A and B are shown apart, each in its own frame.
Chain A
Amino acid sequence: QKEVEQDPGPLSVPEGAIVSLNCTYSNSAFQYFMWYRQYSRKGPELLMYTYSSGNKEDGRFTAQVDKSSKYISLFIRDSQPSDSATYLCAMVDTGRRALTFGSGTRLQVQP
């Protein structure tokens, strides 16, 4: 069983929709949670990170962490075609000093 599970999609939504992307994890030692965005044929880039349960907002993006349920989410409001990409969740077990990635969800925002 993978430590981090993420639905691969693709998830197709119309422009302006609210998008919800999710990951579940099994390792209670994960302390830091991140979302990376990866455009086609490019390297991942950090979108947001948080290290506590609750919500963190940055513009149209909101990251949510529920440590009791081992569940994290990324919400995108007013989605744009330029948001079309693969979104990867990543987590850090401080004992390992390395990122553990989900497999990524491919998002397509239709104009």
Chain B
Amino acid sequence: NAGVTQTPKFQVLKTGQSMTLQCAQDMNHNSMYWYRQDPGMGLRLIYYSASEGTTDKGEVPNGYNVSRLNKREFSLRLESAAPSQTSVYFCASSILGRETDTQYFGPGTRLTVL
């Protein structure tokens, strides 16, 4: 039981390049989330998926797209990376997405955009 896994762990991109961050969970959770964490800003929600087949914007969605591939997997795509997207990205999941449901986080992807 691995919980929430993320790939890659580290990535360096040049401005304008694209990439997809992968996330998978093996806890049979319905809801999944993408956050970014920046110094002094805490974690901010980019997108979330309340259930398979649905996605919604969070606080900072500009420059990102997401795909809920199936119940297990939720990917985050940067179409044209910018230095402002340098951050640590965390994927999380919760069983039903209710306010009181615990969110379980992955280990993060450290992204640098030059």
- Spell out A's residues near B (CB within 8 Å): 4, 6, 8, 31-32, 41-46, 49, 51, 88, 92, 94, 97-99, 101-104
Contact = CB atoms under 8 A, between A and B. Distances in A.
9 contacts: A6-B42, A31-B99, A44-B90, A45-B104, A49-B102, A97-B99, A98-B45, A98-B58, A103-B40
A99 B45 contact: yes
A102 B100 contact: no
Given A32-B100, A42-B108, A44-B90, A98 B48 contact: yes
Q: From A43, A98, A102, name the one whose CB has the most chain B CB atoms within 10 angstroms.
A: A43
A102 B103 CA distance: 16
Interface of B: 4, 40-45, 48, 50, 58-59, 90, 92, 97, 99-100, 102-108
A6 B50 CA distance: 28
Given A43-B108, A49-B102, 16 more contacts: A6-B42, A32-B99, A41-B107, A43-B4, A43-B90, A43-B106, A45-B104, A46-B102, A94-B99, A98-B45, A99-B43, A101-B43, A101-B44, A102-B42, A103-B40, A103-B41
Given A32-B100, A43-B4, A51-B100, A101 B106 contact: no
Contact of A43 (B44, B45, B105): B105
B100 A49 contact: yes
